[in-house]
Homo-oligomer: A and B are copies of this chain.
């Protein structure tokens, strides 16, 4: 019985590739086993269950996205950094749709605590530095950034905007410009 030299990392990498190629929902332990030429049950020596595989893809995707964001915002500030950061997200979502979909799942506790997640947060804060927001407002701004960018990409990915015609790109630019406006005219805390 030849050993297939499986490792958790190899399984997760294969899952990420399968997700991008055939869709997030096509990732099953059975499908992965077929790719490695072993029986499905054999994979459980290396991964706890399907959910653990997808958690791994989630962390992998966070790391890759952080890499791309770091490159995109390096040497840029203010609106330019915002545009570049958002563009990195959009390019990633388009080029790696399965990986991106893994990011939409609830994050496991270990993922929340991962170095990759911390990097994404740090990069968001670095980008926001150019807007000179009060310290206490940074968490709110970070959440708005994530919500708007991710929300737009999710709607785009599920076809809510109809066919990808020029108007969607215009909408994208407008959305990022609107974010820039919001950050520059940040609404202070109100009595409510």
Q: Which residues of A does B touch, CB under 8 Å?
A: 104-107, 112, 137, 139-141, 143-144, 146-152, 154-155, 158-162, 167-168, 170-171, 173-175, 177-183, 185-187, 189-190, 192
B residues in contact with A149, CB < 8 Å: 151
How many identical subunits does the complex contain? 2
A139 to B183, CA, bound (A): 22
A183 to B182, CA, bound (A): 9
A135 smallest CB distance to B (angstroms): 13
Q: A150-B151, A167-B139 are in contact. Are A144 and B174 (CB under 8 A)?
A: yes
Q: A177-B187, A185-B185 are in contact. Are A150 and B144 (CB under 8 A)?
A: no
| Neighbour of A151 across the interface among B137, B148, B162, B168, CB < 8 A | B148
